[in-house]
């Protein structure tokens, strides 16, 4: 007779993010009817600053023969640069959470553009644990509302 091992219940982390805020929530399989716990919240105020404030340190212009001017360095939107920094910060937290086995499954929910930046930053050790991805910005919802909205995607 072959013995099959029962699937071990998993801890799931749920990331809800946009370029300026993020929240990581956790649910445990033994706590289906309890509130999800907040693991960490992030604020990135630089993503909300006006472009003029972010561009104060941008590279200068150089003359290219005649009257042609070019940026000294390739120009990336300051908001894009800040969003990338924030995505990298979140990715480091998720990577550390996976490295220390704090979660077994991950649900990613982020504004579409930010989701792409975040995916680019995540290592395989994290992406292989992604159960569901939603390209939607739910950062305006309270944790209780998030639980009601996302429970079906988390498997509860």
In the chain, what are the domains? 12-46+77-154 (3.30.420.60)
108 phi/psi in degrees, rounded to 5: -105, 125
Q: How confident is the model at residue 73 (pLDDT cuts 50, 70, 90)?
A: low
| Residue 1, pLDDT score | 39
Q: What is the pTM of this model?
A: 0.76
Q: Is the pLDDT of residue 61 over 60?
A: no
Q: What is the mean pLDDT of the chain?
A: 80
**83 pLDDT higher than 90:** yes
- What's the rounded Cα separation, in Å, for the pair 134 and 109? 5
Residue 7: pLDDT band (50, 70, 90) is very low
Alpha carbons 67 and 63: distance in angstroms, whole number: 7
């Amino acid at each position: 007779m072959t013995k099959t091992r029962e699937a071990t219940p998993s801890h799931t982390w749920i990331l809800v993010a946009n370029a300026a805020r993020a929240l990581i929530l956790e649910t445990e399989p033994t706590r289906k009817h309890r509130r999800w716990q907040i693991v960490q919240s992030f604020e990135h105020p630089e993503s909300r600053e006006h472009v003029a404030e972010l561009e104060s340190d941008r590279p200068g212009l150089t003359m290219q023969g005649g009257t042609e001017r070019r940026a000294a360095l390739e120009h990336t939107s300051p908001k894009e640069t800040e969003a990338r920094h924030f995505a990298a910060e979140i990715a480091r937290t998720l990577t550390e959470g996976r490295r220390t086995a704090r979660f077994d499954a991950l649900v990613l929910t982020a504004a579409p553009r930010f989701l792409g930046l975040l995916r680019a930053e995540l290592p395989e050790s994290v992406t292989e644990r992604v159960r569901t991805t939603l390209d939607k910005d739910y950062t305006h919802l309270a944790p209780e509302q998030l639980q009601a909205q996302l429970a079906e995607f988390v498997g509860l």
